[in-house]
Amino acid sequence: MILPKDVILRLLALDKDIAAGVYFLRGGSGQPCLYKRTPVETKENPYLHTPITVYDERGPFRVDCPGMGCVLIKTEVFRKIERPWFDLKANDEGKRNGYGQDLYFYTKVRWAGFEVWVDPGVICDQIDTWVVGYADYRKRLQNGKEPLGGGFIALQSPEQSGAPGGQPSRLS
């Protein structure tokens, strides 16, 4: 990850249980690593999430899972959530359980009642065989490309924007 030099100060300024920056998935698709939980949890896999494909860049907003690439977590979170905090065997031996360690962790965070916020001004790049970042996201939006199956649009919270709503909207 390539983090901005003021990342810690910006995330501390949010003063939230969990504060994160935005980074983009490897592969150059411009897909932000942001997820909303699915409306229905299943006993077989309560960790299911759907990608947020477009996010509000005007100010901080709540999200269910911002990945683990750029995140600041208050120690209180670790004191209160059930152990193990991470499922280190989530994908052992090629098993595909439909979730990763981050989705497992953030589901426990949600069950414990903690909030997860993203500062869209904290933009991070991810290193693959090339650097993947914000420019890829903007290019995807300009070309009108959406990932298969759609996703969600994340809007600011009503507290931040002063407007009604603030909940993610579904893209089809």
CATH number reported for the structural domain that contains residue 153 in this entry: 3.90.550
Residue 48, C-beta contacts closer than 8 angstroms, at least 6 positions apart: 37, 38, 41, 42, 98, 99, 103
The total number of structural domains in the chain stands at 1
- The answer to whether residue 162 scores a pLDDT higher than 80 is no
How many CA atoms lie less than 13 Å away from 151 in the CB half-sphere?
19
How many CA atoms lie less than 13 Å away from 27 in the CB half-sphere?
8
Q: Which residue has the higher pLDDT, 16 or 142?
A: 16
Lowest average pLDDT, out of 11-15, 85-89, 156-160, goes to 156-160
- Whether 124 contacts 21, CB under 8 Å: yes
Q: Is residue 42 part of a domain?
A: yes
Q: Which domain holds residue 127?
A: 7-166
Per-residue pLDDT, averaged over 112-130, amounts to: 90
The CB density around residue 74, as the number of other CB atoms within 10 Å, is: 14
Q: What predicted TM-score, i.e. pTM, was given to this entire model?
A: 0.72
Q: Is residue 147 part of a domain?
A: yes
Q: Is residue 71 part of a domain?
A: yes
| Distance from C-alpha of 3 to C-alpha of 17, rounded to nearest angstrom | 20
Q: Is residue 24 part of a domain?
A: yes
Q: Is residue 101 part of a domain?
A: yes
pLDDT at 146: 57
Q: Is residue 2 part of a domain?
A: no
